[in-house]
Structure 1
């Protein structure tokens, strides 16, 4: 370690899985040359204490953000709390003189997004949004091909995301299952996907027609209970989750639930779940590009399929993250040229770390001096805003039936 280098003093707010791993233990393991964890904040101090031990830190614990900001004056605050609380914490941190990294989505309503954008501009501080999918090696290669004009001008995109019945179900066990907390998966999960589209196409979404229904989880289930641990149907339920079998989750959530009542293994068939599990959207971009999008949450596979159609050809990629068969440790991109131009198969090896190396590349970009952002991967608050606005428009359209134009929602946000 270069002891002469000034490290960024950062505070972590929210000690769930993502905060404890991505922005806690992993960040200190790989980037301690550049960062110093000076404080950890969570409303549940038992969870914060356990997270601190997992991170391997001796940073002081707080259950009050304002007190932590006042006493520690961190240069950077990383926000990993439930989505509907992001705006309040981000604004407080900005006004205290800190830069911010917000987990995605940046916020859950237009008003909350506008509040963050205004505070960032007023304080002169910076907000980064954790869009790590931009940094995956495969996404970077696709972006290069588009910018090189490999298929000419892009005219349409087919984009379909699949969550398997383990990962997908997890959103229905937790606070994400309620629109008031997550904005629905059109916001919480699809913010990644809409941001990828915005970045790939270098354009803003202009109007959205969305459809969304709760067809599998929630009230559609054959039986229900309060949580898996106490459920009388555990032997018959395909979605039974044995929290005790996962030492990490059990330590982080089970005993701490006595403090806040938050159970990590809540029933996926709760009748009050109000978010869709089956979603589609048609999006028209300001550039004229048309997009067909879908998100399904109970598949036997995990991953996504994306294809870009242009005047001179097509770029197609199918990424399997989990599937019941063997796949090579690489992604195959098909570059298919029109007019007899043939097919080029481009193999992109997976890299170590989360999201096939995307997590590490993003942390390098943010924290390692001299990183070259030639593909404009580092995402600020405007990128965070546009992905949320697209998701909110899709949700509104799915509930009201009309096509929703994004521009009237956003003039004070996107300037």
Structure 2
């Protein structure tokens, strides 16, 4: 056991906070971390989460008191997206480092607040971009960096959410732009970050289209929530929260305190985010990207292809689908001019255990275990979080205005500042407050 464990506070006890950054973190990294506080505005949800996490950490209803009384070295933020900036800034100003769930923020001003606070305090913000750490993503990054397809000229990138996962965003607070920034921000922040990381560049201009075509006002009927809906027998999107003990414990009775029901109607007329999105992105290194996000498919996963001057890298990754697939990903590497090399290679990458095919575990190892090298620059800081969010903000603005949006026009100060080095030496992966 280490004597200098990182003393961390968990803010937000929903699904992700309770599992990824609560129960799972303590189970696998207990030798490196110590949970010293839990904060949530819903006391009952926090109490139930603490039981699931198997912790005796004190519970706080507000972040200010928690920071003052427990003085954590690290604060992990798992609250709704529009609240991230307030919590992150307060934690940084208290002297703590921060891990924030994605997206880092939802507006330009919120991004700016976080970047300014990080610079002012000298503390570090990590953004939970676990997709970078998935073994298949790492292998693709290695192939691109090794020049296997020469200079990348364009990318085809299409993400599919099935009618379970995709619909879930429309049941919850994510369905409102002022809370999530839309799925161009909340969900696509992962995808835009992957592109930024793969291409080792920054997005320059975005042109996008987006519509609501299935959910919200497009629905044939609506009810107060699934549990009380008179249409439950005929609704394809009906869910029974009570059938899931985990969700029931965290959300059903606690909803009596804050009014947040986990089974909101996906056809609520006030839903204002799109469910079908496409974007064209031009990068500063002249790579052109065609991107789409669909939220009501019979499959879950993505297709990505990198077109280069010497060949093409292609992946079709299946996360959930109504047929059996092998327990591995297959990256297709095709060369324009083989010259003694195979014209086609099928590179197999076995799936690893843990969330995101092992990406969650690898990310936590990188953050919490000392001495782990980061040759691919997988650990993502605040600038990476800012760029991915800004790309989503630009996409939504373009879809709403019908105009091409230049990111530097949205936030000139981000592009005037020098880019951070790939592997930031901001603070060590372990150790106490400084």
Q: Does the 8 Å CA contact 1:186/1:394 hold for their aligned counterparts?
A: yes
Question: Aligned partners of 2:127 and 2:9: how far apart in 1?
Answer: 16
Q: CA deviation at 1:121?
A: 0.0
Matches within 5 A, 1:53-64: 53-64=51-62
Question: Aligned partners of 2:299 and 2:84: how far apart in 1?
Answer: 31
Q: CA deviation at 1:413?
A: 2.8
Secondary structure in 1 matching 2:222: coil
Question: Aligned partners of 1:136 and 1:411: how far apart in 2?
Answer: 32
Counterpart in 2 of 1:254?
252
Counterpart in 2 of 1:369?
370
Partner of residue 181 from structure 1, selected from 166, 169, 179: 179
Q: Does the 8 Å CA contact 1:39/1:60 hold for their aligned counterparts?
A: yes
Counterpart in 2 of 1:104?
102
Matches within 5 A, 1:28-67: 28-67=26-65
Counterpart in 2 of 1:24?
22
Partner of residue 88 from structure 2, selected from 75, 83, 90: 90
Q: Does the 8 Å CA contact 1:117/1:413 hold for their aligned counterparts?
A: no
Q: Deviations over 1:145-189 (max 9, x none)?
A: 000000000000000000000000000000000000000000000
Counterpart in 2 of 1:172?
170
Structure 2 residue 351 is the aligned partner of structure 1 residue 353:
no
Matches within 5 A, 1:216-231: 216-231=214-229
Q: Does the 8 Å CA contact 2:408/2:414 hold for their aligned counterparts?
A: no
Q: Deviations over 1:244-269 (max 9, x none)?
A: 11000000000000000000000000
Counterpart in 1 of 2:425?
none
Counterpart in 1 of 2:381?
380
Q: Does the 8 Å CA contact 2:156/2:305 hold for their aligned counterparts?
A: yes
Secondary structure in 2 matching 1:10: strand
Counterpart in 1 of 2:420?
none
Q: CA deviation at 1:78?
A: 0.2
Counterpart in 2 of 1:404?
405
Aligned residues: 413
Counterpart in 2 of 1:342?
343
Q: Deviations over 1:206-233 (max 9, x none)?
A: 0000110000000111110010000000
Q: CA deviation at 1:6?
A: 1.0
Question: Aligned partners of 1:210 and 1:47: how far apart in 2?
Answer: 39
Q: Does the 8 Å CA contact 1:215/1:277 hold for their aligned counterparts?
A: yes
Q: Does the 8 Å CA contact 1:113/1:413 hold for their aligned counterparts?
A: no
Secondary structure in 2 matching 1:187: helix
Counterpart in 2 of 1:9?
7
How large is the RMSD of aligned CA atoms in angstroms? 0.7
**TM-score w.r.t. length of structure 2:** 0.95
Partner of residue 234 from structure 1, selected from 216, 232, 235: 232
Counterpart in 2 of 1:282?
280
Q: Does the 8 Å CA contact 2:237/2:266 hold for their aligned counterparts?
A: yes
Gaps of 5+ in 1: none
Secondary structure in 1 matching 2:184: coil
Q: Deviations over 1:309-359 (max 9, x none)?
A: 000000000000000000001000000001355100000001010000000
Question: Aligned partners of 1:166 and 1:323: how far apart in 2?
Answer: 11
Counterpart in 1 of 2:423?
none
Question: Aligned partners of 1:109 and 1:360: how far apart in 2?
Answer: 30
**TM-score w.r.t. length of structure 1:** 0.99
Partner of residue 205 from structure 2, selected from 200, 207, 217: 207
Secondary structure in 1 matching 2:329: strand
Counterpart in 2 of 1:74?
72
Question: Aligned partners of 2:231 and 2:373: how far apart in 1?
Answer: 54
Counterpart in 1 of 2:299?
301
Q: Does the 8 Å CA contact 1:209/1:397 hold for their aligned counterparts?
A: yes
Q: CA deviation at 1:409?
A: 1.8
Secondary structure in 1 matching 2:208: strand
Secondary structure in 2 matching 1:413: helix
Question: Aligned partners of 1:210 and 1:255: how far apart in 2?
Answer: 41
Counterpart in 1 of 2:422?
none
Q: Does the 8 Å CA contact 1:95/1:123 hold for their aligned counterparts?
A: yes
Q: CA deviation at 1:412?
A: 2.1
Gaps of 5+ in 2: 418-434
